């Protein structure tokens, strides 16, 4: 586990996501031209330090996000040869 990962139980994670949803529209904390701005903003709202490492953002959960208007796919795993 990453030493920067946040120890959230499933229930705590769900409660945090509900809290964030209750905020309604949230302006991105990063440049709107940054492809990762949505995920970075979500990490900021959850109090999770930004990382691009191949392990979970929290103890058990890896966060994935994307813009509503984007049609690209989410990368779930990177497999090294």
Residue of 44, 35, 43 whose CA lies nearest to 67: 35
Average pLDDT over residues 69-81: 67
pLDDT tens column, 19-72: 999 999 988 888 877 777 888 888 889 888 776 666 666 666 777 777 777 667
- Structural element, H or E, at residue 45: helix 37-46
Q: How many helices (H) and strands (E) does the chain have?
A: 2, 0
Cβ contact 19:12 at 8 Å:
no
Q: Residue 3: pLDDT band by 50, 70, 90 thresholds?
A: very low
pTM: 0.66
**Cα separation, 58 vs 46, whole angstroms:** 10
CB atoms within 10 A of CB 6: 18
pLDDT tens column, 4-21: 556 778 888 889 989 999
pLDDT value for 2: 43
């Amino acid at each position: 586990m990453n030493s920067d990962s946040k120890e959230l139980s499933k229930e705590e994670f769900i409660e945090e996501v509900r809290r964030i949803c209750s905020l309604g529209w949230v302006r991105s904390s990063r440049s709107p031209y940054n492809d990762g701005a949505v995920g970075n903003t979500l990490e900021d709202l959850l109090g999770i330090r930004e990382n691009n490492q191949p392990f979970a953002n929290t103890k058990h959960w890896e966060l994935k996000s994307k813009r509503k208007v984007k049609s690209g796919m989410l990368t779930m795993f990177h497999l090294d040869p």
